[in-house]
Structure 1
Amino acid sequence: MRATAIIPVKRFEAAKRRLSGTGAASHRPALARAMLADVLLGLNEARLLDRIVVVTGEPEAVEVAEEAGVEHLVDPDDRGHVEAAAIGVADAIARGDECVALIAGDCPLLEGFELDRELDAQAPGVALIPDRHGTGTNGLILTPPDAIEPAFGPDSRERHLARAREAGVRCRIATVPSMALDLDTGEDLRQLVLALAADPERAPATSAALRQLGETGG
């Protein structure tokens, strides 16, 4: 089964708003870049992906994609994750891909072997990879690529389940521990720091960015 990972990425400067009220807010663009680099590092370790594509209107995200040796598509309007995902899905369909994995760009702990496990188990339909709270969506595996229309954003898990029901396609919840933690709040940041302290070899770019944040008093 030909599978492509699609990572929709919005502008790094806009991304920092999700950490407003924390000391890291002003450093969010640097963190966003670092986390994307680590997501691509993990995806490059997956054996069952044929292509990895970043869809973005952010020039620095294009640089990160090129550094990682993966493809990129331009999101000219930069309207958000849903629109960027649609660009990637349309490209995958045009290329004859049978499956796409839509992956959040702020899950820096991602392990390629865990995604491989879910790709290997994938049947026609949808696999939903929830966040650690069980309410959001950090990944969607779609077979075929247009099995449902993505609906990312707060509380997206229920929207995706509803869309699968409406489309009459099977939807399973896929437990992927390394993709459970994304960075939306100060508490998420604290959990990420703890995870990296326990395993310093993981997410090297994010670890370096967080060290810089500490050095600058963030």
Structure 2
Amino acid sequence: MTDWAALVPLKQGVESKSRLRDALEPAERMALASAMAARVMTCLSKADAINSLYLLAPTVVPEWPSHWLPDSGRGLNPELEGARAQLGNRPLLVIHADLPHLTVEDVQALLAAADECGCAFAPDRHGRGTNAVAIRDANPFRFAFGQDSLMSHRQQRPAAAIVERAALGFDIDTPADLAGLHEMFSARQD
């Protein structure tokens, strides 16, 4: 099916990747967040099943292939609830912007699982957080991103598919994640 909307929430400015404060200067964090988000947006724009792409952020990024939904600062989960309602409860993929290895195949696997089950979750590599939620149906759903979000999401949709793929699970939140990214990049250069 080609009726999916994809929504990428993004913190901008000096609050970008704030948990990396001890590892990176503000300008470095902003550049990293922007580079990862650009990669995610480009990947999503190449997925055949997605026919509209939205950036949920405080300011527009004109060079990205997306529509802009202004983030008014209410917090991630309320902003996502508002965006879902604004988009008319259509099939929706919410995916985080800090997935540096995301591929079109990862996105297709997640959407295919949601097409089959009505909903699919992509956990982080620790199995506790949620890096993406794909909702095919229009049934109520309360976004619960934050600590132990996967458990909260699964409680709402126990029959949802769990799509575990390395690139969907590898997000950049901590200095250890950043070190892992550098190690992977160094290994690819060898």
Q: What is the TM-score with the length of structure 1 in the denominator?
A: 0.78
**1:112 and 1:145, CA in 2 relative to 1: closer, same or farther beyond 3 A?**
farther
Gaps spanning 5+ residues in structure 1: where? 201-218
Matched letter for residue 101 of structure 1: L
**1:162 and 1:43, CA in 2 relative to 1: closer, same or farther beyond 3 A?**
same
Q: Hey, what's the Cα distance between the residues in 1 that align with 2:42 and 2:51? A: 15
Q: Count the aligned residue pairs.
A: 186
Deviations, residues 161-208 of structure 1 (Å, cap 9, x unaligned) = 11224xxxx2121113212111111110011112233446xxxxxxxx
Alignment partner of 2:128 out of 135, 146, 163:
135
**1:71 and 1:157, CA in 2 relative to 1: closer, same or farther beyond 3 A?**
same
Residue 191 of structure 1: aligned partner: 180
Residue 40 of structure 2: aligned partner: 39
Identity percentage of aligned residues: 29
Gaps spanning 5+ residues in structure 2: where? none
Q: How far off its partner does 1:146 sit?
A: 4.6
Q: How does 1:56-67 map to 2 (within 5 A)?
A: 56-57=57-58, 59=59, 62-63=60-61, 66-67=62-63
2:86 aligned with 1:74? no
Q: CA RMSD in A?
A: 1.9
**1:146 and 1:89, CA in 2 relative to 1: closer, same or farther beyond 3 A?**
farther
Residue 182 of structure 1: aligned partner: 171
Q: Hey, what's the Cα distance between the residues in 1 that align with 2:186 and 2:109? A: 26
Q: How far off its partner does 1:53 sit?
A: 0.5
Q: How far off its partner does 1:36 sit?
A: 0.8
Pick the structure with more helix per residue: 1
**1:80 and 1:146, CA in 2 relative to 1: closer, same or farther beyond 3 A?**
farther
Q: How does 1:19-30 map to 2 (within 5 A)?
A: 19-22=20-23, 24-26=24-26, 27-30=28-31
2:96 aligned with 1:107? no
